[in-house]
Structure 1
Amino acid sequence: MYCIFISVDLKPGARARYLELIAENARASVENEPGCHTFDVLADREDENRVYLYEVYDSPDALQAHKETEHYLRDRAQINELINKQQVLRADVLTFCPARG
């Protein structure tokens, strides 16, 4: 499996709207995309303008399919306007604990 971990630095005052949009995107991704297994949204405990996204897909192709979905494309421009900068870490998932089906 394939994972991306994204550190997102938001523009001041953008947190509430970003969280609203990304929560809907995360929910739709897990519910409607067979290749998306996990889409977690995490808040930094020390910086209120930093959030993290932890996403697990079957493969890089499944991530690309995610980027072509209606829910992703619908909100992408709004989400991009709320972001100051982001950094993406890409990794292969070796083990889920506990194991998932």
Structure 2
Amino acid sequence: MQASNKNVLFDVNTAQIHPKIVSPEAEQEPNESRRLWSKVTTAIRERDMEGATNEKTRIEDNQRNETRAREQEGVEWKPRYFDIVNDDFPFKLAK
């Protein structure tokens, strides 16, 4: 026989929405997600799937080219905000 006691951990009906705190796109770095993918987002909102696909392909091709160039130059990529510890990525600023 199972107990029927229930504890509510999160109630979507009473939860408060907290607005995102994000720098304006013009102040973001070129590789920040909102800025990098903004043209894809705009195209999707405008129902321009061809434009979204073309922009997505451009971004991904550019990222592949950057990776290839780093590998050819022997430059190791290191995350800016995370350490690599085995298969874990602890946040650097949390220390």
Normalized against structure 2, the TM-score is what? 0.34
More helix by share: 2
Larger Rg: 2
Which protein has greater RCO, CA pairs closer than 8 Å, 6+ apart?
Answer: 1
Query: When the two structures are superposed, what TM-score results if normalisation uses the length of structure 1?
Result: 0.32
